[in-house]
Structure 1
Amino acid sequence: MPLDGVTTYLLSEELNASLSGARVDKIYQPDKKSVLLLLRAFNSNSKLLLSADPDFPRAHLTEVATSNPSTPPSFCMLLRKHLGGSRISRISSPSFERIIEIEFSSVDEIKDTVSFRLIIEMMGRYSNIILLNQDRRIIDSIFHVDAQMSRVREVMPARPYDYPPSQNKINPLTALSALENHSFVFPDNTIVRPAEKAILETFTGISPFFASEICTYADIDAKKSISDLDALEHHNLCNTLASFFVQIKTRTFSPGVFFKKNEDVPYDFHALAYPKGMRSKQTDSISEAIDLLVVPGQITNDFEQKKRPLIRFAESGLAHAVRKHNVHLADLSDSEEFEKLKLFGDLLLTYQYAIPPKSSSFVCNDYSEPPISLSIDLDENLSPTDNAQRYYRKYRKAKTKYDKTVTFLKEDMLAIEYFKSLLNAATQASDLRDLVAVKQEIDWLNTKDTSETDEDPNSFHPGKSKNGKQKSRAIRSAMQAAKAKSRKKKVVESAHTASSIQSYRQFELSDGELVMCGRNNIQNDFLTFKVASKDDYWFHAKNIPGSHVILRNFGQTPSDQVFEISAAVAAYYSSANTDLSKGIVSKEIPNYKIEVDYCMVKHVKKIPGAKPGMVTYSHFNTILIQPSLPSNER
């Protein structure tokens, strides 16, 4: 839930109490919407996160570690220039608006005291972080808003800063005395509105959720208009409003998060009101409540952001392979009648003495039984022998095209299967180790593709230009090429090293057997051909993308139960497991079954010239099994 004005006001008071006098130690910008201030106060360190994310703009103390870019953005550098080493003078929120102002004071080069203000506007898609000088002019902002984007209010450097337009609502603290005396009168334009809407449109800083909960606490129907409330209901509403506003005035709030039924992840938070019937958990501060609410979603969002480009790469590679396959299919249909061209040439040589000069066509019978009459087009300017040679040339060209196209189609099918496997691994990635493995494979693939298209190998010769003389430009080019080659080698080595240090999945069974499963195609290759012995068993989902699963039996004969467990792992990490493909990691066993082939490792052969993970196998059996995982993963 986005911060409302009341929570923002209480949050500013909380931050002011804990951070007033704190010194700005470091400033980071984790992403284009957020700023992180590392503060030093009272012999302790604090991290203040300021976010203009339109989905959840916020400002709060956090304990979550963030990853910061190696090159800080320009807005971050600007903040470091003006706010680095300064101290926080005051943190406030003006008139229950969703705005937090942080005042900083520092000393300039001539030892004069200067002040700056950092404004955090938390208003959905209009959220912003703005740096002001002591004259309240905008130095810069994290988002620029020019006249074309907003006719009401510009947020641009050198412009004077103005608050967002007021909504002309009543300050809750101003209305407190009237509410306590039950003499408060709602504005005329709100008395015909439902009670929750009237509260929302009357008081500053009240969110729709808070207005609805006020009606619930007052035991009145939120859809009933103010004018239809009886005396008791009006009395209860005034008492409830006054009770909440007194908590705001005295700052006796109790923040916390609340949960939906049967869920362990917080659903929402508030500083004052909790929905009746929902399980809640109180926290020591509003910042802690926000952290509890944001962290699970932030971890999920970060994971999805890292996962999305890997899926896009695999989808792009698959689409490209399918397009190539379709093009080659069209070429195959165009050239598959090449034998007919050879027949035309043979017939022309056979009947060359029967062909009249300057003929544009010739009709004759072929060699089949019964014979079929064929019409052969001729070039009038060529002799029958030359026309025959023309058809032979067409035949050789069409036959070469046909043979090449057949080869290309086989490569296309392998590429399609490979990218389907890569897409399955990227889609089913459920933790950071899975993402790292897929990313390493993609890096290896990019390096392999670029190394195959390297230019003239002489370009790597150090310090030689084309004419054989040493020149500085040639030396620089050679050094850059050598560095590029070294980087490619390191990427390939790191991809294979990751596999060799056992980053693949491992499950130890009760009988001592070990079930191993690759996270990417490189690991699949490594497990099948480097780790497994020839008498171990290999499992794979039948005719669909999935991980290679190896059952290491260490010379023992596995039981039927061990075979079923291993096959269930292969079924779980296959594209047929629809739950995992949708990103749903569940401990419940689904009610559908998947076909899994298994055989001894010695019957698995790598396809020559194919990408990692592409194999053929024989002497196999098939088992129908429900996808599941053993409980004891290493």
Structure 2
Amino acid sequence: LMMDDVKSRSFTPNIIYYQNEPVEFSALPLTCFEGETYQAVTYDSISTLLEEYYASRNILTRIRQKSVDLRKIVQTALERNYKKYDLQMKQLKDTEKRDKYKVYGELLNTYGYELEGGEKKLTCLNYYTNEEITIPLDDQLSARENSQKFFDKYNKLKRTYEALSEQTLETKREIDHLESVSAALDIALKEEDLVQIKEELMEYGYIKHRRTGDKKPKITSRPFHYITSDGFHVYVGKNNYQNDELTFKLANGGDWWFHAKGIPGSHVIVKTEGKELPDHVFEEAGALAAYYSKGRENEKVEIDYIQRKHIRKVAGAAPGFVIYHTNYSLVAEPKLLLEEVSEKKNS
């Protein structure tokens, strides 16, 4: 059959795309690439196809080279914070015994009168648990001095616990922020998409600020824009700044917001124009939220969705970080079910 097509000059110039990346081209249909992760796009002529294929490959190669330095900065900062977080969590675990020392001190104040001095332990009733307990003692100290020693230990561990609790939260916030930047680098398709990411890294101190007088780069990157078969506009943020802008500037209270549950990813906004969304739009938007997330390689991704009016910014957090309650959930397969509005390919 293939030879028949060649003999009759019945050509179908096409490029096979995998997640927006051109992987192969042919003058004839390539049936070996099947499944929803591959998309065949046809062209009017071989020359147009070759022009598009190599232009796309060059853009991807160039952006990967340009993103190497940014990825290295993000990865180095992430590894440093992972180590810091593990150490802080270990130190935090070491403070768990603080309440034991408080109980020891209180019980010694209650039963210490029974001691004559020189004892290495005291066995008594723990009135908190109604069980017998044995308290180790320093035989060189009085009951009161032993009690004070336990209270001092308790207070020191309590202060450590309070300080570490805040520090671990700060470290976790920094890890979450860096992982969100890493996710943005994963979906950057053009050089201009890297500009905002670099600006964010600069703002948060991961890259040196530009010198006084240096011109600030022009931001030309825009969110992905899709449209459903029944005319609903869907927007997907490419980075934290765009996520923030979509959710808190573009979206109205009645619009719907989608995001991969518990993992870094894009904010997906569906503009409702006051209308009720058909079920398939929820599925399509959920698939986009899964596709533009760190869960892209998974078979399924759990998606949270909720109306924009229930979304709140996290005070003091990096852009794009939000809180919400009473959301709905769906499970989506990461894939592009919609055609991008600005798409130049002819399918």
TM range, smaller chain? 0.7 to 0.9
2:18 aligned with 1:311: no
Indicate how the Cα distance of structure 1 residues 262 and 602 shifts in structure 2: closer, same or farther if over 3 A, else same: closer
Change (3 A) 1:611 1:623: same
Which residue does 2:161 correspond to in 1? 402
Counterpart amino acid of 1:418? H
Number of aligned residue pairs: give it: 298
CA distance in 2, matches of 1:377, 1:320: 41
| Correspondence list, 1:15-34, <5 A | none
- Structure 2 partner of 1:357: 117
CA RMSD, Structure 1 to Structure 2 (Å): 3.5
- Which residue does the alignment assign to 2:263? 544
- Where in structure 2 are the equivalents of 1:460-479 lying within 5 Å? none
Residue matched to 2:309: 602
1:37-61 Cα deviation digits (max 9, x unpaired): xxxxxxxxxxxxxxxxxxxxxxxxx
**Residues 253 and 308 in structure 2, CA contact (< 8 A), matched pair in contact too:** yes
SS of the equivalent of 1:574 reads coil
> Structure 1 residues 262 and 396, CA, compared in 2 at 3 Å: closer, same or farther?
closer
Identity %: 31
Matched, 1:527 2:246: yes
Deviation at 1:358, TM superposition (A): 4.5
* Correspondence list, 1:493-508, <5 A: 498=219, 503-508=222-227
CA distance in structure 1 between the aligned counterparts of 2:79 and 2:254, rounded to whole angstroms: 38
- Cα distance change of structure 1 residues 610 and 379 upon mapping to structure 2, 3 Å threshold: farther
DSSP-derived class of the 1:595 partner: strand
**Residue 263 of structure 1 pairs with residue 56 of structure 2:** no
Question: Post-superposition shift, 1:521?
Answer: 1.2
Q: 1:314 to 1:396 in 2, by over 3 A?
A: same
**2:176 is paired with a residue of what secondary structure?**
helix
SS of equivalent to 2:134: strand
Note the residue ranges of structure 1 that are not aligned, 5 or more in a row: 1-260, 265-280, 283-290, 452-482, 580-591
- Whether the aligned pair in 2 keeps the contact of 1:362 and 1:378 (CA below 8 Å) is no
Rounded to whole Å, the distance in 1 between the matches of 2:56 and 2:223 is: 26
Q: 2:151 aligned with 1:432, yes or no?
A: no
Deviations 1:67-111 (A, max 9, x none): xxxxxxxxxxxxxxxxxxxxxxxxxxxxxxxxxxxxxxxxxxxxx
| Cα 1:292/1:398, change in 2 over 3 Å | closer
Change (3 A) 1:371 1:487: farther
Of 144, 151, 154, which residue of structure 2 is paired with 1:392?
151
Deviates more, 1:600-609 or 1:382-391: 382-391
- How far 1:334 moved relative to its partner? 0.8
Aligned partner of 2:315: which letter?
P
* 2:207 equivalent to 1:445: no
Alignment of 1:575-586 (within 5 A): 575-578=294-297
User: How many Å separate the matches in 2 of 1:364 and 1:344?
Assistant: 10
Distance 1:352 1:508, change over 3 A: same
Instruction: Pick closer, same or farther for the CA change 1:443–1:633 going to 2, 3 Å.
Output: farther
With structure 2 as the length reference, what TM-score do the two structures score? 0.73
Give the Cα separation in 2 of the matches to 1:327 and 1:446: 23
In the alignment, the residues of structure 2 paired with residue 307 and residue 391 of structure 1 have an alpha-carbon distance, to the nearest angstrom, of 55
What's the offset of the Cα at 1:487?
7.5
Q: Distance in 1 between matches of 2:221 and 2:189?
A: 18
Aligned partner of 2:336 in structure 1 is 628
Which position in structure 1 is the counterpart of 2:33?
none
Per-residue deviation at 1:551? 0.9
Equivalent pair of 1:509/1:632 in contact (CA under 8 Å) = no
After superposition, give the CA deviation of every residue in 1:336-376 in whole Å (9 maximum; x if it has no partner): 11111111111222233332334454443322454313132
Within the candidate set 261, 266, 278, 1:559 is matched to 278
- Give 1:601 shift: 0.6
Match of 2:170 in 1: 411
Q: 1:305 & 1:403 partners in 2: Cα distance?
A: 44
* Largest Rg, 1 or 2: 1
CA contact (8 A) 2:25 2:53 kept: no
1:609–1:379 distance in 2 versus 1, CA, 3 Å? farther
Highest relative contact order (Cα 8 Å, sep 6+), 1 or 2?
2
What SS does structure 2 have at the residue aligned with 1:535?
coil
Change (3 A) 1:379 1:433: farther
Distance 2:157 2:265 in 1: 38
| Offset, 1:607 | 2.4
The reply to whether residue 573 of structure 1 matches residue 292 of structure 2 is yes
> How does 1:126-525 map onto structure 2 within 5 Å?
263=25, 299-368=59-128, 370-378=130-138, 380=140, 382-446=141-205, 498=219, 503-525=222-244
SS of structure 1 residue aligned to 2:25: coil
